[in-house]
Amino acid sequence: MASSHSSTASIAAQGVSEPREPTNAMPQLDALISHLLAAKRSLSSISHVWRANEIVTAARSALEESVVVSSRTSFLRRGLNNQLRLLSNVRSEVEEISSRGREEFSEALQTLDAADARLRTTLDLLRETIVHASFRPKDEQVKSLHDFVDERGVAELHASLKSSIDRTNTARADLETSNREFDDELDSIRQALRHYRSAAKMASSRISASSSSSSASEPDLITLFTVPGMLQSLEIHAQEMADLLSSLVRHFDLCVTAVKHTEGGGAAAVSITGDMPAEVGASGEGLANIGEEINANLNAPLDPMTDQEYEEMINVLVKDAPEAEDVVVEIQDRIADMESIFEHVTIQRDALLSVSDATLEVHRHLSALASTRLPRYISQAHNFTQVWSEENDRFSTGLTELSDLHSLYDGFLNAYDSLILEVARRGQVRHRVEKVLRDTRHKLTQLYEDDVAARETFRVEQGDFLPSDIWPGIGRAPMHVEFQRLSGGHLEGALPETEDQDQPSKVETAPEAAFAAENEAEHGETIPNLPKEVVEHAYARLKARTREFV
């Protein structure tokens, strides 16, 4: 809209002019008042310009906040990624310690159970194996091999192993409880991460819906590429609206001037401009000069004007009047565009804030975990490792002791069966000795009798011819050979059972007594008389154990 102001110099040269009556070619006062009223109504667009100023200020603030939030979120997200990887590695290490401990503990228990089962089987065999009555005194109650075993060592070993197992189970239970709490913490963090991803995905959707930029398509990558462009667009709109409002102000001023310079228009101009909108006096960036300009023009005195200037002014007013409405519509369209752009800016800012809040939530979870509970979870894993290391050594020692006891008691069983075979062997040797003695006795008796007979024959035949003092032994009977049984004493290195058995005992010296019944108790050694089936069973057991060993 063109301005119709003339130079003040020409007006001053012609002096002050009186208000003019409109000619036939000029519009009537009513038409000018109508234009003035329309111009006054158009000035209400200043509220849109003021709103535009607010939008630009708010958009700039939103941009600054978005930049800060985006930078902080990006920094936290990079740090959180590192912390989450570290946390995952720590959990994996703790789980590996727990799994390895469980496997080693289970293997150790299986080994101990197998060794203990072998020992108990051997002890059961000792209970089932009855000592043959021929080995024990006649008035003694029946005893098994287990009666000769002191099982206190086994009980003490079991108690020690049970204590180690209980301590390991307690440490393992504490570790499993700690791991469950650790997993609960991780679940809480995963929930916070799901919240973060949901917020990022929603933010991405909102930004994608509010912007044609493809940079916001990734749910975890919120960019600010479109916001500066939006802010620039808002600033352009605001500047254009300010320019359009300035043209409306100039048109209003022109209408006021035209009415004042028209016959009877002064009072009408004062009446119309007396209740100007409050927004006209509002102050703001880019608006203060407009308000001051309007107020100055309303209160300014009437300047002198020539007829030509008045005519030119009216022509300009009539020409600009139809365009004023289009300017108002353009201002309204521009403020609508600004509202839409500002809504998009706000959406992007709110999306960034939601992502930031979700990121801070994850950060709070990780910070609380790392500062208080994570050291306890790691310490619990170290404690289990230490306990298991100590108790595993005790298990190894206990396993060795169980194996030694099993070997001892199994050796006892073998020794008893070997004792039966040894008794059988000694019986056989005794039998052979007795046979040799019987044969020798018979031969010695025969030799003795033959010698006695021969000597008697010699005495009868030659005794009368030989003097008795020629050889003192000529009339002697033959010598007797006597068998004397002596106690064998103890083998080298063996401890004596009683003092009496250390002394060799002499048995009857008469030939008849020397060969008494075999079942008569002898002073030197008593060999139990074991039934044949007892010896055969002992031999079979020894043979079976030998096959198992091989």
Q: Which residues pair with 20 in a beta bridge?
A: 262
- Predicted pLDDT at 496: 59
Within this chain, do residues 213 and 275 fall inside the same structural domain, yes or no?
A: no
Phi/psi of residue 262, each to 5°? Answer: -100, 145
Within this chain, do residues 368 and 380 fall inside the same structural domain, yes or no?
A: no
Provide the CA 438 distance to its chain's centre, in angstroms.
Answer: 89
20: in domain? no
Between CA 173 and CA 486 the distance in angstroms is 71
- Predicted pLDDT at 112: 93
Side-chain half-sphere exposure of 279, counting CA atoms within 13 A = 13
Within this chain, do residues 384 and 421 fall inside the same structural domain, yes or no?
A: no
Between CA 541 and CA 538 the distance in angstroms is 5
SS3 130: strand
- Predicted pLDDT at 27: 60
- Predicted pLDDT at 452: 93
Phi/psi of residue 326, each to 5°? Answer: -65, -35
Tokens for 350, please give them: 């709110």
Which of 313, 214, 309, 178 lies closest to 258 in space, CA to CA?
Answer: 313
471: in domain? no
Between CA 424 and CA 533 the distance in angstroms is 11
Within this chain, do residues 301 and 425 fall inside the same structural domain, yes or no?
A: no
Within this chain, do residues 315 and 446 fall inside the same structural domain, yes or no?
A: no
Q: Which residues contact 486 (CB under 8 A, 6 or more apart)?
A: 504, 505, 506, 524
Q: Which residues pair with 262 in a beta bridge?
A: 20
Largest CA distance in the chain: 224
Between CA 474 and CA 246 the distance in angstroms is 183
Within this chain, do residues 169 and 200 fall inside the same structural domain, yes or no?
A: yes
Q: Are 38 and 320 in contact (CB under 8 A)?
A: no
474: in domain? no
Between CA 162 and CA 164 the distance in angstroms is 5
280: in domain? yes
144: in domain? no
Q: Are 359 and 71 in contact (CB under 8 A)?
A: no
Between CA 280 and CA 297 the distance in angstroms is 12
- The 3-state secondary structure of 482-542 reads CCCCCCCCCCCCCCCCCCHHHCCCCCCCCHHHHCCCCCCCCCCCCCCCCCHHHHHHHHHHH
Within this chain, do residues 396 and 509 fall inside the same structural domain, yes or no?
A: no
User: Tell me, what DSSP letter sits at residue 43?
Assistant: G
CA distances from 458 to 449, 454, 476, 478 (A): 14, 6, 12, 13
Provide the CA 412 distance to its chain's centre, in angstroms.
Answer: 52
8: in domain? no
Tokens for 232, please give them: 């620039």
Number of neighbouring beta carbons within 10 Å of residue 95 = 14
- Predicted pLDDT at 318: 81
Within this chain, do residues 251 and 299 fall inside the same structural domain, yes or no?
A: yes
4: in domain? no
Within this chain, do residues 503 and 390 fall inside the same structural domain, yes or no?
A: no
Tokens for 295, please give them: 């107020």
**∠ Cα 376 378 383 (to 5°):** 90
Q: Which residues contact 523 (CB under 8 A, 6 or more apart)?
A: 485, 487, 505, 506, 507
Burial of 544 (0-12, 13-18, 19+ CB in 10 A): exposed
Within this chain, do residues 291 and 189 fall inside the same structural domain, yes or no?
A: no
Side-chain half-sphere exposure of 437, counting CA atoms within 13 A = 18
Name the pTM for this structure.
0.59
SS3 151: coil
When divided into structural domains, the chain yields a total of 3
CA distances from 454 to 440, 450, 468, 543 (A): 21, 6, 18, 59
408: in domain? no
Within this chain, do residues 349 and 274 fall inside the same structural domain, yes or no?
A: yes
Measure CA of the first residue to CA of the last residue in the chain; give whole Å.
120
Query: Torsion angle of alpha carbons 14, 19, 20, 21, nearest 10°?
Result: -170
550 residues of the chain, pLDDT tens digit each: 433 333 222 222 333 345 555 554 456 777 787 777 777 878 888 888 899 999 999 988 988 888 888 888 888 888 878 888 888 888 888 889 888 988 999 999 999 999 999 999 999 999 999 998 888 888 888 999 999 988 888 999 999 999 999 999 999 999 989 888 888 888 888 887 777 777 777 766 766 665 544 444 443 344 555 667 888 888 998 999 988 888 888 888 788 777 777 765 656 666 666 665 544 444 444 454 555 555 555 555 666 777 787 778 888 888 878 788 888 889 899 999 999 888 888 888 888 888 888 888 888 888 888 877 888 888 888 999 999 999 999 999 999 999 999 999 999 999 999 999 999 999 999 999 999 999 999 999 999 999 999 999 998 888 888 887 888 888 888 998 888 888 777 777 665 555 444 433 333 333 433 444 344 444 457 888 889 998 999 899 888 888 776 5
Domain range enclosing 181 = 75-125+151-221+374-403
What single-letter amino acid sits at 148?
F
Within this chain, do residues 363 and 385 fall inside the same structural domain, yes or no?
A: no
